[in-house]
Structure 1
Amino acid sequence: MLPERKYSFEGVVASLLFIALLIVVMIQIFGRTPLFAGPVWTEELARWLWVWMAFIAIAEVERTDRQLRMGFLSEMLPAKYQRGLFTLIDIAYLGIMIHLSWIGYKTVLRTWNNEAVTLPTSDAALYASAFVASFLIINRILRRIFGRTDLNKNVEPSL
């Protein structure tokens, strides 16, 4: 099995969205000074970039298995049972994410004809963030579940 790369697709995309967000926020800040009149669309675009960045970043957190958890009960279990417990939790999480992807899909369809307030696009472009991110997250959950079947791997991620 190949080792995980330091930088992932999700991490790079989330980072680029963060840089774009910083640029848009700087335009907003300078647009409130006498230097120049700020464009109206920056507030809405900043919100959209934030949402996309946050959803894509969740997939990066799943890749590195760094989500918040309380492990005091699971740490009392032997490694074999910890592996089973974490697999059951991931299977439940996978079911939730599949359901959320369906909700995201229906939301994109429902908002397809809604026009954004200041941006020349449909509101569906904003709601597509949850739909796209859900597939990235599902991919990472499946990789973690199938990677856990290797008995030589650590059960807990290294912190």
Structure 2
Amino acid sequence: MSHDILPPEAVPEAVGIDPVGEDDFDFKAYGWEDWPTLVVFWVLAAVVFLQFFSRYVLGSSVGWTEEIARYLLIVVGFLGSAMAARKNSHIAVEFFYRYMPGGVGRAMSMMVDIGRTVFYAAGVWISYGLAAKTNAMMVSIDVPKDVIYYIVMVGFLLMLVRSVQVTIRHWREGESELTTAKDR
């Protein structure tokens, strides 16, 4: 028998987990765009559960759930990407920044900021053009498909705004998360 076994009440502290109720929920960590994304996520979860329940429990699938789940997943992805843009947590390759001299790393980081912002602006423009040209209706329900493209455009617009904010912050501070990767 081992003497290393912790009592159950000591396990959360031992592994760095705060027991429920000790930390207050921090609303400042969330932007206003996170809340509609959370609502859409739970609607998506309900639709997928309805699809599963109707198909495997009732034996007869509800026809519109597959298409609506697909569109809701798109909406969650694009609206949720605004959160990643705000936190500057989109995927990035940090390897080269670790071995570059400070000035070169900062210059490349600024180029990444500008390129990211231009990409989001292009995404807004392209998704608006696509939405404006779309006349098709969704297959299973009587809703125009351009609604989805306009929501994608809003997602790109939110990412663009958050990207501009991150870029301004990086310019003011003189460094970004990429250039401080050496210190980690």
Same fold per superposition (TM over 0.5)? yes
What residue number does 2:177 align with? 156
Q: CA deviation at 1:102?
A: 1.1
**8 Å CA contact retained: 2:120, 2:156:** yes
Rg larger in 1 or in 2?
2
Q: 1:37 to 1:77 in 2, by over 3 A?
A: same
* Aligned-partner Cα distance in 2 for 1:155–1:101: 25
After superposing on structure 2, the runs of 4+ consecutive aligned residues of structure 1 that deviate more than 6 Å are none
Residues 43-102 of structure 1 deviation map (CA, whole Å, 9 limit, x = unaligned): 111001000001111111111111222212112234444333211111112112212211
- The counterpart of 1:124, out of the listed 139, 143, 146, is 146
- The counterpart of 2:58, out of the listed 35, 46, 59, is 35
Q: Which residue type is aligned with residue 91 of structure 2?
A: L
- Structure 2, gaps ≥5 residues long: 1-26
* Aligned-partner Cα distance in 1 for 2:139–2:163: 36
Q: CA deviation at 1:36?
A: 7.1
* Aligned-partner Cα distance in 2 for 1:76–1:47: 42
Total equivalences in the alignment: 154
What residue number does 1:139 align with? 161
* Aligned-partner Cα distance in 2 for 1:34–1:72: 49
**Secondary structure of 1:142's partner?**
helix
* Aligned-partner Cα distance in 2 for 1:141–1:97: 8
**8 Å CA contact retained: 2:55, 2:62:** no
* Aligned-partner Cα distance in 1 for 2:84–2:168: 17
User: Identity, % of aligned pairs?
Assistant: 23
What residue number does 1:58 align with? 81
- The counterpart of 2:67, out of the listed 28, 44, 58, is 44
* Aligned-partner Cα distance in 1 for 2:50–2:57: 13
- Structure 1, gaps ≥5 residues long: none
* Aligned-partner Cα distance in 1 for 2:160–2:149: 17
**Secondary structure of 1:136's partner?**
helix
* Aligned-partner Cα distance in 2 for 1:116–1:21: 17
**8 Å CA contact retained: 1:31, 1:39:** yes
**Secondary structure of 1:150's partner?**
helix
**Secondary structure of 2:106's partner?**
helix
**8 Å CA contact retained: 1:79, 1:155:** no
Q: Which residue type is aligned with residue 131 of structure 1?
A: M
**Secondary structure of 1:129's partner?**
helix
- What are the within-5 Å matches in structure 2 for residues 71-150 of structure 1? 71-111=94-134, 113-150=135-172
Q: Which residue type is aligned with residue 169 of structure 2?
A: G
Q: CA RMSD in A?
A: 2.3
